[in-house]
Amino acid sequence: MPELPEVETLRRALEHRLQGKTVQTVVIHYTPLVRQPSAEALSQVLPGQRLEAVQRRGKYLLWQWTDYTLVVHLRMEGKFWFGWSEHVQAKHVHAVLTFTDGTVLLYQDVRKFGTWDLVPKGKLHFVPGLEKLGPEPLATDFTPERLARQLAGHARSMIKSALLNQQVVAGLGNIYVDEALFLAKIHPERRVGTLQRRHVKSLHAAMVDVLQRGLAAGGASVRTYRHSNGEEGGFQHQLSVYGREGEPCRRCGQPIRRIVVAGRGTHFCPRCQRLPRSR
């Protein structure tokens, strides 16, 4: 699933290419993609709308049109890419937006889990889950103290599970949580309530570090993620633990282990990220 760095990279590219352009036609091939109002209604009201900005909240893309906001969640494998008219029938292309200047934007999703919600401006509360998102981890007001407050109600949860909760921190997923916990030397199964202030401070710094590096590298292409021009991101070449089961830890040489935490495959170093003994 695209996480904060991947979604932000896409946001920047989409805004750069499309800001100020007007939609001419919209074709939805997979109608369940549009949760509200409906695929037919969206195809009727979006033409003529001018794109003012593309914003991001957590893993959501917020397309700000003249009169509406289109809220898109890519889920597992949704992607936008620029193409030509001959690409509209390409495999797994579920939506095509054509702009008045001839630009063609395609939405492709092999798994069909992505969602589109078109709501009137100022009505984001109509989109389930959006208003309950936690703070943005790269925002200037996201401090170690803010992270501690967000974690306070999850003392009995494993730290990996807590960080995957989008109401705790928005935008994190499997890749960047594993990488941040490794950098902070915290075992993914450690209970939140056992973390001391120094651990939270270290975790905060690690989260910011891996997200900034992931963003600078254009995201991680570990599955099907690609930029809107078809190119891969580069952060997959910097990963310390994610996807490296059995390979030597870059810090101590111990083989990286893979376990399941909160139903998610989880990678860590058993030497660098020791689980404290229960007292």
Residue 178, CA atoms < 13 Å, CB-side half-sphere = 27
Question: In this structure, is residue 43 part of a structural domain?
Answer: yes
The count of structural domains within the chain is 2
- Is 169 found in the same domain as 101? no
- The CA distance from 202 to 185, in Å, is 9
Boundary residue ending a domain (73, 107, 132): 132
Residue 3 appears among annotated catalytic residues: yes
Query: CATH number of the domain that 41 lies in?
Result: 3.20.190.10
What pLDDT is recorded for position 1? 80
In a domain, 277, yes or no: no
Q: Are residues 115 and 197 located together in one domain of the fold?
A: no
pLDDT confidence of 279, banded at 50, 70, 90?
very low
> Which of the listed residues 76, 109, 132 is the one where a domain comes to its end?
132
Same domain, 101 and 200: no
Angle, vertex CA 217, rays to CA 57 and CA 271, nearest 5: 95
113-150 confidence digits (pLDDT tens): 999 999 999 999 999 999 999 999 999 999 999 999 99
The string over 122-158, giving b where at least 16 C-beta atoms fall within 10 Å of a residue's C-beta and e elsewhere, is eebebbeebeebbbbbeeeebebebbbebbeebeebb
Tell me which of 185, 251, 264, 271 is the catalytic residue: 264
**Shared-domain flag, residues 110 and 192:** no
Tell me which of 59, 79, 160, 226 is the catalytic residue. Answer: 59
Which two tokens mark 84?
Answer: 């030509």
Q: How large is the angle between the packed helices 197-216 and 144-151, nearest 10 degrees? A: 110
pLDDT attached to residue 68: 98
Active site residue 6: no
Task: Give dist(CA 117, CA 129) in Å, integer.
Answer: 12
Query: 8-30, pLDDT tens digit by residue?
Result: 999 999 999 999 999 999 999 99
Annotated catalytic residue 251: no
- Does 67 score more than 70 pLDDT? yes
Which residue spans within 13-156 are E strands per DSSP? 23-28, 34-36, 51-57, 60-65, 68-73, 79-83, 93-99, 104-108, 115-120
160 is catalytic: no
Flag the least confident range among 97-101, 226-230, 238-242, 274-278.
226-230
Do 41 and 101 lie in a common domain?
Answer: yes
- Judge whether 30 lies within some domain: yes
Instruction: Please report, for residues 9, 106, 169, the alpha-carbon distance to residue 79 in angstroms, rounded to integers and kept in the order given.
Output: 12, 8, 23
The per-residue pLDDT of the chain, averaged, comes to 94
The pLDDT value given to residue 230: 73
For residue range 141-200, list pLDDT tens digits in order.
999 999 999 999 999 999 999 999 999 999 999 999 999 999 999 999 999 999 999 999
Q: Tell me, what's the pLDDT at 200?
A: 99
- Cα–Cα distance, 72 to 6 (Å, whole number): 14
Q: Based on the fold, state whether residues 107 and 170 are members of the same structural domain.
A: no
Its pTM stands at: 0.94
Residue-number span of the structural domain to which 75 is assigned: 4-132
Helix ranges (DSSP H) in 139-237? 144-151, 159-164, 174-184, 197-216
Least confident residue range of 47-56, 143-152, 220-229: 220-229
Q: Which of the listed residues 110, 132, 154 is the one where a domain comes to its end?
A: 132
**Residue 46 within a domain:** yes
User: For residue 169, which phi and psi values (nearest 5 degrees)?
Assistant: -140, 135
pLDDT at 278: 66
Of 2, 135, 137, 188, the active-site residue reads 2
Q: Which two tokens stand for residue 234?
A: 């580069």
| pLDDT range class, residue 91, cuts 50, 70, 90 | confident
Q: What is the CATH number of the domain that holds 221?
A: 1.10.8.50
Is residue 274 domain-resident?
A: no
Order of all β-strands in the sheet with 23-28? 23-28, 93-99, 104-108, 79-83
C-alpha span between 133 and 59 (Å, rounded): 10
Question: Which of 3, 8, 15, 179 is an active site residue?
Answer: 3
Mean pLDDT of 85-95: 75
- Residue range 78-94: average pLDDT? 80
Band of residue 228 on the pLDDT scale cut at 50, 70, 90: confident
Instruction: Please say if the pLDDT value at position 86 is more than 70.
Output: no
Looking at residue 82, its pLDDT comes to 93
Residues 176 and 110 in one domain: no
| 60 plus 151 within the same structural domain | no
Q: In degrees rounded to 5, what are phi and psi of residue 18?
A: -115, -15
